[in-house]
Copies of this chain bind each other. A is one copy, B any other.
Amino acid sequence: MVQIQQEREPDKRLPAYLQLRDRLAARIAAGEWRADDVLPSENVLTRESGLSVGTVRRAIQQLVDEGLLERRQGSGTFLRKPAFDATLFRFFALQPKDGKPVIPVSRVIARTRAKAPSQAAQILGTEDCIRIDRLRVVSDEILLSEEIWLPNHLFDGFDSVDASSIGPLLYPYYQERYGVFVARAEDEVSFATASPAQAQRLNRLPGDPLARIERTAFSLTGDAIEWRVAYGDAARFRYRSNIT
């Protein structure tokens, strides 16, 4: 039932530091370490790999830059918990200004195996998908209505696992149960008006302005592994980003 996402064989033509990065990424995806675990030290990796410290450091730094690892001088290199499932919500106005982001409760409405809409199918590379409909709720107030599409071949059986075992954040769950590690995502924000169905779900009126957040999530190998679209009250919406 559960299947592990295959990491591609490290390409021998790639520089050594990238090959090591890929091997480490594969071990992370395979669940060898849990969030906040210490990875082997530079010394150990140097011996294991037969490379010099500098090269090992470069492979590790690569994964730090990708946001997967965190280094602490004097203590070690740690696996970071993937936290950006929560980032959608940091951007809503009701979040406390400076405190930790509140993670909304999930209320799953439906999970079905279904044919993905063409946009999702094109991005995910298959029509055979699992669809999840859920609401995100903070203190009894409905914040967001989400529709999530997953390729069935990676998440076989997701439509029938016990809902209570899933929890409010999906990305850690993807990793634990399916070995699919979400490394980065692309968001597109736009504005829309509520359809009657959306209005009912969000406890608003048809025609009310909504913020629309469309997201594609990518694995460590760069493959799209989830497509979702979320709607919420435009008036309370706030989205921050950095440009370089």
The residues of A with any CB-CB pair to B shorter than 8 Å are 66-67, 84, 87, 183-191, 209, 211, 234-235, 237-244
Q: Are A243 and B186 in contact (CB under 8 A)?
A: yes
Q: Are A190 and B237 in contact (CB under 8 A)?
A: yes
- A126–B89 Cα distance when bound, in Å, is 32
Cβ–Cβ < 8 Å partners of A211 in chain B = 191
- Decide if the interface of chain A is mainly helix, strand, loop or mixed: strand
Cβ–Cβ < 8 Å partners of A185 in chain B = 242-243
Least Cβ–Cβ distance between A143 and chain B, in angstroms: 15
Cβ–Cβ < 8 Å partners of A240 in chain B = 186-189
Least Cβ–Cβ distance between A225 and chain B, in angstroms: 14
Least Cβ–Cβ distance between A238 and chain B, in angstroms: 5
**In the complex with contacts A209-B209, A243-B87, A244-B67, A237-B191 CB distance below 8 A:** yes
The 3 closest A-B pairs by CB, nearest first: A191-B234, A241-B241, A189-B239
Cβ–Cβ < 8 Å partners of A237 in chain B = 189-191
Cβ–Cβ < 8 Å partners of A242 in chain B = 184-187
Least Cβ–Cβ distance between A183 and chain B, in angstroms: 8
- A66–B65 Cα distance when bound, in Å, is 13
**In the complex with contacts A191-B191, A191-B209, A191-B234, A186-B239 CB distance below 8 A:** no
Cβ–Cβ < 8 Å partners of A84 in chain B = 243-244
- Closest B residue to A68 using CB positions: B244
Q: Are A235 and B191 in contact (CB under 8 A)?
A: yes
**In the complex with contacts A243-B84, A244-B67, A189-B189 CB distance below 8 A:** yes
- Closest B residue to A215 using CB positions: B243
Cβ–Cβ < 8 Å partners of A184 in chain B = 242-244
Cβ–Cβ < 8 Å partners of A87 in chain B = 243
Cβ–Cβ < 8 Å partners of A187 in chain B = 240-243
